[in-house]
Chain A
Amino acid sequence: MIEQFTSVVFLTGFLASMIRMATPIVIVALGEMVTERSGIMNLGIEGIVWIGAFAGFATTILTGSYIWGFLVGGIVGILFGLIMSVVAVEFHGHQIVAGLGIWILCNGLSGLLNRSIFGISTERPTIVATLPTIPIPGLSNIPIIGETLFNQNIIVYLTILAVPLINFFFKEISWGLNIDAVGEQPRAADAAGLRVGVIRTLSACFGGFLAGIGGAYLPLALYSIYTNDISTGLGWMAIVVLVFGKWRPWGILGGALIFGAANALKWRLQNTDLPLPYQITLMLPYLVTLVMVIFFVRGGSGPSALAKPFVRSEN
């Protein structure tokens, strides 16, 4: 039984699957990072992942195109990012509560649309194939690493690229500086002539966009079907990873790999003949999340103005 876990085949499959599972967490967490560094906390991303997954799935079924699937998933995500920012920026609403509202709203909406578009028949439509992998010539032949890193789908490659890019954006590009300024000291940013509301709105929309893309990734690249429990807490894991990674892209990547491993292990374990009830293996990612928050994510210090509304004060 032990050899099941030590064989090269198992290890390669496990690592490749870990990367594939970590990818949507990285995408969603990077989006939430941009949102939070501008000062808005969007706890609704779990819901946005959900609706993004449905929108991406439905679009790809209807058009047969992956590109349209991801695009529509992202656009729907923008819509809900916008709702969050309107509540936060225009109405100075309570962001934790509003985020929960968006989560539950998206939950209902995707369930509703799923029922009314695809009906209740057990014959669920499926996407013929998940997003194809693109082996990188030469590199993909390296044992273990080749299969793990260089024989993946396009979204995985783009996500790996996005980490240094977003890092560069916040370090060297004026817009990145502006987002940080608005999230740390909105009053000072305002006095420096930055438009706090506009920057926060755009950041929340970008966060929604990535959450939608991350959602669309689930049916398009992983499962090829849509079910009403497709996300299994991806958005919440992204939030844990964000805090774990101290609001920095490389840290997020590291944290996401841990979750990727837990998720990959979850599926692998179910296909072995270990005498574990399936509920216990399903619990694995949640237990990992708990362990991570308990040991690594304590009282993390995010942006100073996180979740605080900004109003020009009276003096």
Chain B
Amino acid sequence: MANTTGVAVKMVNITKSFGSVLADDQVNFELLHGEIHGLLGENGAGKTTLMNILYGLHQPDSGEIIIQGEKKEISSPHKAVEEGIGMVHQHFMQIPTLTVIDNVILGLESLNSFKLNRARARERLVQISKIYGLQVDPDACIWQLSIGDRQRVEILKALYREVKILILDEPTSVLTPQETTELFHTIRKLVDAGLSVVFITHKLEEAMSITDRVTVLRDGKVVATRKTQDTNKAELACFMVGREVLFRLKREPYEDKQKYEVLRVENLTVKSDRGSLAVRDVTFNVQSGEIVGIAGVDGNGQTELVQALTGLRHVQGGSFWVDGVNLTNASPREILEHKVGHIPEEQNDALVANFTLIENLMLNRHYTDEFSKCGILDQGKMESRSRELIRQYDVKASSEKAIARTLSGGNKQKLIVAREIARDPRLLVAAHPTRGVDIGAEESIRNLLLEKRRQGGAILLVSTKLDEVLSLSDRILVMEKGRIVGEVTREEADIEKIGLLMAGTRTTT
């Protein structure tokens, strides 16, 4: 790497807490000129918070930031840009209804001139995209672009502001393996042009392959900073988790050899919110004692497929059956009563934050004869059943009367899984069941799914985490632009192959 002398940014003893949660605790971080510095850690380790502080979105409780040897107060993103710092967030900071140009010049133009000068902006943008090989249509609206394109817009935004330091927050989490390789090329080009890059990730392979140095955070504290060439995956994993990371998954075979079809989907077609076809003519099935994984980059129709199968979205064409019953366009409750469980992709769509754990656990069964008579709820039974579930599924809460929002992310997710699995569904539709949870909860949720499979349940697993799909599924379907573009069995699956399928036609052009 070109010139690794001199410190670009130094963050000293940074501490930041939100309420009672300590996000960063006395963190020291140093970024050298022209390096790619990996910031590695689990969900909630404090990586993003630390970089949000550098980008001026948060103010530290204590500690200081030194840029080019000078102490600086970064009170806003605007200040950060003035200091030459740019950031590409995991959730892109873009206005979907505006064009690429408008997004790029947002917040800049008002300082220079009153009337927007889009012509000049376009010229400069095209020039920058040429230099770094970041092709994007400047007049397209953001919502029309693919995720990869949107990421390029974010990088262009930073380059347009002539930043010297670029922070990338989990940039690969939304990309196909091939797009990831492309992104890595871009990052190297940026460094060659004199930028310094902070690369936030929780993936060890990426940290090893792209970075020059790595700083590992755990529970808001720096565990170690290493030159990448002087360390290895095992060591980094140890730093990151504090114990061995290998999942202890109990993948036992389904005991009853008699398999039959639980879910059958034929030529299913579903529209997105915008009215375009999100799911196109999809056909597949799921058998008892089987986990079928749906892999794919986010936004290729998985969300709409799950919503259609759970009655939350209108089916335009085709049908699906559960245990032979046609449930196409049935209401969510009818589908639920045919023993279909649903773990929705957004926690917010599953839990009522201001309800107690009891109320949340009873949300999908309070009306059954077990818990209500003539429309009047049996509070005692609801309470005792909830207490049982909370114990059985090891949800950590002060009591069953606690308010759901006081739980940690992992425990909330366990509560949802408990609610859905305890109803003993024939089919469980699990959308991103481990998104945003800590490793402990991730492991126990995956084991719960496997246990369900062992007992003969059929599970449709939708996940963007390839390792999750690979480790749990018996068969893997790959979705791209609303179609199922490939099917691989567990035995023949490997990351490269699935990655190519996920990227679809884009790799062949």
Q: Answer yes or no: A and B touching, Cβ < 8 Å.
A: yes
Chain A residues with CB under 8 Å of chain B are 172-175, 177-178, 180-181, 184-185, 187-194, 304, 312, 314-315
CB-contact partner of A175 in B91, B96, B110, under 8 A: B110
Q: Does any Cβ of A come within 8 Å of B365's Cβ?
A: no
Residue of chain B at shortest CB distance from A191: B93
A184 touches B95 (CB 8 A): yes
B58 contact set on A, CB distance < 8 A: 312
CB-contact partner of B106 in A172, A181, A314, under 8 A: A181
Shortest CB-to-CB span from A94 to chain B, Å, is 14
Q: List 13 A-B contacts (CB under 8 A).
A: A172-B115, A174-B113, A174-B116, A175-B110, A180-B97, A190-B77, A191-B55, A191-B93, A192-B93, A193-B78, A193-B107, A304-B96, A315-B48
Shortest CB-to-CB span from B215 to chain A, Å, is 18
A315 contact set on B, CB distance < 8 A: 23, 48-49, 52
Residue of chain B at shortest CB distance from A194: B107
A184 touches B97 (CB 8 A): yes
Q: Does any Cβ of A come within 8 Å of B76's Cβ?
A: yes
Mask for B77-98, Cβ within 8 A of A = 1, else 0? Answer: 1100100000101011111111
Q: How many A-B residue pairs have CB under 8 A?
A: 79
B116 contact set on A, CB distance < 8 A: 172-174, 177
CB-contact partner of B96 in A178, A184, A193, A314, under 8 A: A184
A177 to B104, CA, bound (A): 12
Mask for B97-139, Cβ within 8 A of A = 1, else 0? Answer: 1100010011101100111100000000000000000000000
Of residues 452 through 487 on chain B, the ones whose CB sits less than 8 Å from some CB of chain A are: none
A187 contact set on B, CB distance < 8 A: 91, 93
A189 touches B106 (CB 8 A): yes
B93 touches A173 (CB 8 A): no
B interface residues, how many (CB within 8 angstroms): 33
Q: Does any Cβ of A come within 8 Å of B57's Cβ?
A: yes
A174 to B107, CA, bound (A): 8
A222 to B49, CA, bound (A): 58
A304 to B89, CA, bound (A): 20
Given A173-B116, A178-B106, A314-B18, does the pair A184, B77 have CB atoms closer than 8 Å? Answer: no
Mask for B294-314, Cβ within 8 A of A = 1, else 0? Answer: 000000000000000000000
Mask for B49-74, Cβ within 8 A of A = 1, else 0? Answer: 10010010110000000000000000
Q: Choose among A177, A178, A191, A193 the residue with the greatest number of B CB atoms under 10 Å from its CB.
A: A191
A190 contact set on B, CB distance < 8 A: 57, 77
A172 contact set on B, CB distance < 8 A: 115-116
Shortest CB-to-CB span from B347 to chain A, Å, is 14
A187 to B110, CA, bound (A): 18
Shortest CB-to-CB span from A33 to chain B, Å, is 15
A187 to B107, CA, bound (A): 13
B110 contact set on A, CB distance < 8 A: 174-175, 178
B76 touches A173 (CB 8 A): no
A312 touches B77 (CB 8 A): no
A189 touches B107 (CB 8 A): yes
The 7 closest A-B pairs by CB, nearest first: A193-B78, A192-B107, A188-B93, A191-B93, A174-B110, A193-B107, A174-B109
B97 contact set on A, CB distance < 8 A: 180, 184, 304
15 new A-B contacts, CB < 8 A, other than A178-B106, A180-B97, A184-B96, are A177-B105, A181-B106, A184-B98, A189-B107, A191-B57, A191-B77, A191-B93, A192-B93, A193-B81, A194-B106, A194-B107, A314-B21, A314-B23, A315-B23, A315-B49
